[in-house]
């Protein structure tokens, strides 16, 4: 089981105020998850423990996570679901240990995951994880590009928010993090990402920090002011039919801006897709690469 298999149910129950139902769903799922997904689902359990009157269980859960090497940054520990245990001495110790772990993790240079292609090397795909995302997941989900001869470089942010997850909130740090992980990049280089990762890819390509042959933006957000690229390049935008109005509007704004800047844009609204990858992203990824290649040859 993966997070995407049950997370929407948990969020729906939580949003409806059925915290006990959400807690039961997380507890049922936990034994069936990989460690990568268990890390964040464990935090959800602690939150739901705390807001359903199981304060000791919440503290036990967070302490056990720390003992296992998992930590959650101060911003996550400020979640209002944890308010009922916030004044507990044990919670203060948890927060202190988490802050120390986060500080140490953010000092370490980020390391990309590089996957070699099947057959001859034709180019590179630089893939950026979403906010609170993981390079391991990004490397896996963009891996189909190897079938087209592309080296996959799943780059990481140094702005760690949990033991396994990071974000891109700081623009200058994002620029430094990505550009220092491209030692193995070759041209043509296609940049891609989801959500905030797509926003970072768009920003770095349009300001010319990275020479991109094309972009693949999945459920993109708009975080920083768009820059008009010096040289136009083809861009694929995959927007979710079930995503929020705000984010569908952001995708349309990106299309309009890039089209006005001379870029060829293939903007598709994917049926059934929310703020995540489409179920058949493997197919979308290959067709997007093929389209970008055809546009660059034209």
Angle between helices 89-107 and 55-67 (to 10 degrees): 30
State phi, psi for 153 to the nearest 5 degrees. Answer: -120, 100
Token pair 């620029």: residue: 175
Low-confidence ranges of the chain (pLDDT < 70): 298
What pLDDT score does 298 carry? 66
pLDDT at residue 257, rounded to an integer: 96
Give the pLDDT confidence of 39-83 residue by residue, as tens digits.
999 999 999 999 999 999 999 999 999 999 999 999 999 999 999
Closest CA to 190 of 182, 50, 26, 168: 182
The pLDDT of residue 113:
97
Separation between Cα atoms, residue 16 and residue 25, nearest integer Å: 14
**Where exactly are the structural domains of the chain?**
3-107, 113-297
Cα(164)–Cα(38) distance, rounded to whole angstroms?
11
Give me the phi and psi of 15, to 5 degrees please: -65, -30
What are 191's strand-pairing partners?
126, 215
Distance, CA of 185 to CA of 88 (rounded, Å): 49
Query: In this structure, which topology does domain 113-297 adopt according to CATH?
Result: Rossmann fold (3.40.50)
């Amino acid at each position: 089981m993966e997070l995407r298999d049950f997370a929407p149910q948990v969020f729906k129950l939580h949003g409806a105020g059925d915290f006990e139902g959400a807690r039961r769903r997380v507890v049922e799922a936990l034994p069936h998850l990989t460690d990568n997904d268990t890390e964040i689902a464990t935090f959800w359990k602690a939150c739901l423990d705390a807001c359903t009157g199981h304060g000791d269980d919440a503290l036990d859960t967070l302490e056990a996570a720390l003992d296992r090497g998992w930590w959650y940054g101060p911003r996550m520990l400020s979640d209002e679901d944890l308010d009922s245990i916030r004044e507990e001495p044990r919670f203060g110790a948890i927060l202190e240990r988490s802050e120390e772990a986060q500080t140490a993790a953010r000092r370490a240079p980020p390391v990309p995951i590089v996957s070699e292609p099947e057959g001859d090397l034709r180019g590179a795909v630089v893939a950026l994880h979403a906010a609170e995302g993981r390079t391991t997941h990004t490397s896996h989900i963009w891996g189909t590009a190897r079938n087209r001869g592309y080296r996959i470089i799943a780059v990481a942010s140094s702005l760690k928010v949990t033991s396994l997850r990071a974000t891109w909130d700081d623009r200058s740090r994002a620029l430094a993090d990505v550009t220092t992980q491209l030692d193995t990049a070759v041209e043509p280089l296609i940049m891609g990402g989801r959500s905030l990762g797509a926003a970072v890819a768009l920003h770095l390509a349009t300001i010319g920090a990275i020479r991109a042959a094309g972009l693949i933006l999945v459920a993109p957000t708009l975080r920083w002011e768009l820059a008009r690229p010096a040289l136009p390049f083809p861009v694929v935008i995959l927007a979710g039919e079930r995503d929020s109005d705000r984010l569908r509007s952001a995708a349309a704004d990106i299309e309009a801006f890039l089209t006005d800047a001379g870029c060829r844009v293939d903007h598709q609204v994917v049926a059934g897709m929310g703020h995540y990858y489409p179920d058949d992203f493997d197919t979308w990824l290959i067709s997007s690469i093929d389209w970008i290649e055809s546009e660059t040859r034209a």
